[in-house]
Amino acid sequence: MADTNTNPEVQEQQNPAQFLENFNWEKYEEGIEKVEDDKLKEFEDLVEKNFVETADDDVVEGTVVHLTDREAIIDINAKSEGVISLNEFRYNPDLKVGDKVEVLIDVREDKSGQLVLSHRKARVIKAWDRVNEAHDKGEIVNGFVKCRTKGGMIVDVFGIEAFLPGSQIDVKPIRDYDQYVNKTMEFKVVKINHEFKNVVVSHKALIEADIEEQKKEIIGQLEKGQVLEGVVKNITSYGVFIDLGGVDGLIHITDLSWSRINHPNEVVELDQKLNVVILDFDDNKSRIQLGLKQLQKHPWEALDAELKVGDKVKGKVVVIADYGAFVEVAEGVEGLIHVSEMSWSTHLRSAQDFVKVGDEVEAVILTLDRDERKMSLGMKQLTPDPWTDITAKYPVGSKHKGIVRNFTNFGVFVELEEGIDGLIYISDLSWTKKIKHPSEFVNIGDELEVEVLELDVEGRKLSLGHKQTTENPWDKYEQEFAVGTVHNAAIDEIVDKGATIQFNDDIVAFVPSRHLEKEDGKKLKKGDVADFKIIEFNKEFKKVVASHTAIFKEEEEKNVKAAAASNATKEKTTLGDLDALQELKDKMDGK
């Protein structure tokens, strides 16, 4: 008996899916039931028109007809339903029966005869079509920022992982990338590498066009003196860049505060909103110079009107130079303490010997010019002038101890107390030593005993001596080595035009070449020991001249003088006898 479902009239009313479900294939194959050729052709046409060809790689749309814990059953209007793992729908946790989804046939039939579909692959194929279309047409696409990566972010666009460079996130530098993670944003596809399947997107490109319009509008309205609101975009050591709404301006470090600052971050911080004033700009307004301190009253105008010369002020050292230190006595108001006003000492030192940056100091106002906005200060005026009673403390002839502070080629500066310096000339350092430079005799920092030689109160000058604190050994040597005295010594050195001999630690005598001759006519050599007679002694110039030759030459001279005297006596006797005979003769002649 034939199956009622095989009735041709019934088949005409059924759709292909119902026909396949009700058709008795077993009877057909056994030849029990025959289908007319025209009906079979009609069926084949219906199948070709309505059923999906599972041999194609095209992406097709299917309907979710059933959901299990692990899988979704999808009807793609094929001979059988397909299966997709729910893992492929993680991005869509709200998937339900009846939803339309795009699928690609992954395996035509598994062991159980079911189609294995892929939603993920279908999304990728469709995504590439959409990405290419968006790139070609310049369309805006939505993307989900998945995570950070080196140099930027990973963005899901139509299921494709695209790269968002850090420089393409915004027009301003981004310091916190994490704030964009898990956010959906609009992008433009700016680059596609088909070979490596890479996609680059940009969010910055979307806002640049708007900013460019804003920039033109802002630049067109810029005027010097105009006050605008801006945001701190970047901080450098020389200044701060301000975003004025698409237009950047620079506040130089000197225009941030009336007070001196070492770095702009002492005044502003990133992303801070500020009111700034336009100071200047170039012809095309691409370089805009801004000011912050100009929006505040100048500190000199706010300075206490009662402040005058002679008043004491306190302040902080902000800058140090060799010639002095700048002290901020009020915000933005500085005074200079010259190094000469730091100490009563006439021997100037560096300002760094007295103060350092950051020190709180007290000073006296020496000059005050409000028009020129200049002020000079002094520190030494807070202590008594040590020269006030100088004649009582340091009279001429008094002896004291001082510290060697400095050298010159001609002497040594010695500090007796703070503000009282004196000079010892090189000739007043030692009675006996011949000193070419003071460093040969003393070191800086040494304590030295001195005697006041001269005092100039008006010129604030002290002349000191060190050798005067000891007895002059040349007073004794003047007697010991007087002219004519004889001393035994060795020839120390043969020098130009003579030789030297050292009688003691202080006295070195010079022997001229002609005074080196010995009695036998030969000359003394280095190391020879002999007697020497002092033929010249000058205490003032510490000059001693000696002679060996004079020793035996003097004996010869004595002998010559004695012989001459004897001959003179004899001659006188003979002449006397002649006179007596003449007298006798005269008497005899009656004269």
Q: What is the DSSP string of 72-104?
A: EEEE-SSSS-EEEEGGGGTT-TT--TT-EEEEE
Residue 200 contacts residue 161 (beta carbons within 8 Å):
no
Cβ-Cβ contacts under 8 Å for 234 (sequence gap 6 or more): 173, 240, 241, 270
Residue 127 contacts residue 119 (beta carbons within 8 Å):
no
**pLDDT single digits (tens) 150-169:** 888 899 888 788 899 888 88
Sign of the dihedral defined by the CA atoms of residues 465, 467, 469, 474, in that order: negative
> For 246, which DSSP code?
S
User: Backbone phi, then psi, for 136, in 5-degree steps?
Assistant: -65, -40
Structure tokens that stand for 358 in this block: 């950051």
CA distance 272 to 155: 29
pTM over 0.85: no
CA distance 186 to 205: 10
Residue type, 280: D
Per-residue pLDDT of the chain (591 residues; tens, 9 = 90+): 444 444 444 444 455 556 555 655 555 555 545 555 565 555 555 545 444 444 445 778 888 888 888 888 888 877 667 888 888 787 778 888 888 888 877 666 655 556 778 777 777 777 788 888 888 888 888 889 999 888 888 998 887 888 998 888 887 777 788 888 888 888 888 888 877 778 899 888 887 767 777 777 777 778 888 898 999 989 999 999 998 877 888 999 999 988 888 899 989 998 899 999 999 888 777 788 999 988 888 888 878 888 899 999 999 999 898 889 999 998 889 999 999 899 887 666 788 888 999 899 999 999 999 888 899 999 999 988 888 888 888 999 999 999 998 888 889 999 888 888 899 999 899 887 888 899 989 999 999 999 999 998 888 889 999 988 888 878 788 888 888 899 999 999 998 889 999 988 778 899 999 999 888 888 899 999 999 999 999 887 888 999 998 888 876 666 555 555 555 555 555 555 556 566 666 665 654
CA distance 414 to 397: 16
pLDDT at 326: 93
User: Backbone phi, then psi, for 589, in 5-degree steps?
Assistant: -85, 5
Residue 509 contacts residue 532 (beta carbons within 8 Å):
yes
Superfamily of 52-137 according to CATH? Nucleic acid-binding proteins (2.40.50.140)
Cβ-Cβ contacts under 8 Å for 436 (sequence gap 6 or more): none
Residue type, 539: K
User: Backbone phi, then psi, for 570, in 5-degree steps?
Assistant: -60, -40
Q: Which residue has tokens 């409000």? A: 370
Which CATH code for domain 390-469? 2.40.50.140
What strand order describes the sheet that includes 486-490? 486-490, 529-538, 543-547, 508-512, 498-502, 493-495
Nearest to 423 by CA among 445, 455, 388, 457: 455
pLDDT at 240: 93
> For 517, which DSSP code?
B
Q: How far is CA 438 from CA 42, 410, 427, 451, in A?
A: 130, 8, 10, 17
CA distance 230 to 210: 18
Rg of the chain (C-alpha set): 59
Structure tokens that stand for 546 in this block: 């000696």
CA distance 584 to 590: 10
State the CB neighbour count (10 A cutoff) for residue 67.
15
> For 178, which DSSP code?
G
Domains 52-137 and 390-469 share a fold: yes
Residue 381 contacts residue 343 (beta carbons within 8 Å):
no
**Every domain of the chain and the residues it spans:** 1-37, 52-137, 138-207, 222-295, 312-382, 390-469
User: Backbone phi, then psi, for 311, in 5-degree steps?
Assistant: -75, 150
CA distance 57 to 51: 15
Which CATH code for domain 138-207? 2.40.50.140
Instruction: Domain 312-382: give its CATH architecture.
Output: Beta Barrel (2.40)
- 3-state SS class at 215: helix
> For 19, which DSSP code?
H
Structure tokens that stand for 350 in this block: 């560096």
CA distance 377 to 369: 12
Residues in the chain: 591
CA distance 17 to 26: 18
Helix or strand (DSSP H, E) at 310 = none
Structure tokens that stand for 16 in this block: 């292909």
Structure tokens that stand for 387 in this block: 């020269």
Q: Which residue has tokens 């001659």? A: 571
Instruction: Domain 222-295: give its CATH architecture.
Output: Beta Barrel (2.40)
Classify residue 154 as exposed, middle or buried by CB count within 10 Å of its CB (0-12, 13-18, 19+).
Answer: middle
User: Backbone phi, then psi, for 49, in 5-degree steps?
Assistant: -75, -40
Cβ-Cβ contacts under 8 Å for 452 (sequence gap 6 or more): 394, 395, 396, 397, 398, 399, 400, 422, 462, 463, 464
